[in-house]
Structure 1
């Protein structure tokens, strides 16, 4: 009977993963259409985020996206941990939920586990983007530059408020290093 519990736990975890992988959030439905994946590639600076354990105490955060041979996208997130006084980097992969013309992706940094990454607002010149995750716990504002105009910040924050995001929890990322 000792084998039964691990098998049940494994099966339960598998079922949970399958069900969570199949479910999409309302935020996925807000993803921009006419998304140009080629224009999206390259380096982005994090302007703001909701803090969570993998980004806690980070400044000078960047995200870099590049095309893979299998059609997926390489994701490299990098930031300086000002408490530990060291650079941290996470490498992952992203795949489009439907096709490359919709800004709804799934991103994985941990094996087969993917999380939603929805580009819900993007400037026409791909100079900045607002990203919603699968819940109101995950939100990012990214820019091609280390800063962003107050008018664009306000536009993104207002849209987040309209969609139920607690913007008072935003961490405005310090970008003070030269790259």
Structure 2
């Protein structure tokens, strides 16, 4: 079954149409600061969701992944996967696209899974080797911690949470979905052909 779910890239489109958005997690009125730039070719590939703010679009999702594929027209193909309730649950897949509203600002994208409706996808922190990323949006309501590995370790998670708190984010109540023991254990069902034999692109 394919169902439109919201992952590290997806936001107010359905919220506007169907339900109230999640609460603002960022102190103050200023939007979060993004990284200076994102190299799309290095950012492309497979990401595992390590933590997320609670919202209705990923309710009961485990083993969440996103795969980004640069397109010839400058947009990005997005494939989001989620296993319902457990890693042995039913697989849900959502296909979308991302674009740059301002091509000069490569840290701020917009993502759509619902026709003309786009939601902000801001890269607010990023490892130098592109091994992890932190995503939010202009109002700080949505928040994701992503990594190239499904089990980056407790020290990694604590460091990301501490950084977010220092930046004024409320990290209470974040959801840490079940993830695969390692990349080899992850099913490849639903990944695009662009995934090839390599699940991620960090070079």
State the TM-score, normalizing by the size of structure 1: 0.77
Q: List aligned pairs for 1:100-111, cutoff 5 A.
A: 102-111=106-115
Superposition RMSD in Å: 2.1
| Residue 151 (structure 2) aligns with | 147
Q: Report the Cα distance in structure 2 between the residues aligned to 1:80 and 1:100, rounded to whole angstroms.
A: 36
Partner deviation per Cα, 1:66-92 (whole Å, 9 max, x = no partner): 012221001111010127931111111
Query: Which structure: greater strand fraction?
Result: 1
SS class of match (1:135): coil
CA distance 1:43–1:100, change in 2 (3 Å): farther
| Residue 39 (structure 2) aligns with | 36
How many aligned residue pairs are there?
154
Are the equivalent residues in 1 in contact too, given 2:31–2:140 (CA < 8 A)?
no
Find the partner of 2:55 among 47, 52, 56.
52
| Residue 159 (structure 1) aligns with | 163
Q: Which moved more, 1:35-44 or 1:100-109?
A: 100-109
Partner deviation per Cα, 1:35-69 (whole Å, 9 max, x = no partner): 21100000001000012111100101000000122
- Does 1:132 find its partner at 2:140? no
- Does 1:26 find its partner at 2:31? yes
SS class of match (2:140): coil
Structure 2 gaps of 5+ residues are: 1-15, 17-29, 188-203
Are the equivalent residues in 1 in contact too, given 2:40–2:70 (CA < 8 A)?
no
| Residue 81 (structure 1) aligns with | 84
Structure 1 gaps of 5+ residues are: 1-15, 17-24
Runs of 4+ in 1 over 4 A off after TM superposition: none
Partner deviation per Cα, 1:75-130 (whole Å, 9 max, x = no partner): 11101012793111111111123226631111111111111111111111100001
Are the equivalent residues in 2 in contact too, given 1:37–1:100 (CA < 8 A)?
no
State the TM-score, normalizing by the size of structure 2: 0.69
Q: Report the Cα distance in structure 2 between the residues aligned to 1:40 and 1:104, rounded to whole angstroms.
A: 13
| Residue 201 (structure 2) aligns with | none
- Does 1:92 find its partner at 2:100? no
| Residue 64 (structure 1) aligns with | 67
Q: Which moved more, 1:49-58 or 1:148-157?
A: 148-157
- The structure with the larger Rg is 1
Q: Report the Cα distance in structure 2 between the residues aligned to 1:178 and 1:42, rounded to whole angstroms.
A: 14
Q: Tell me which of the two structures has the higher relative contact order, counting C-alpha pairs closer than 8 angstroms and 6 or more residues apart.
A: 2
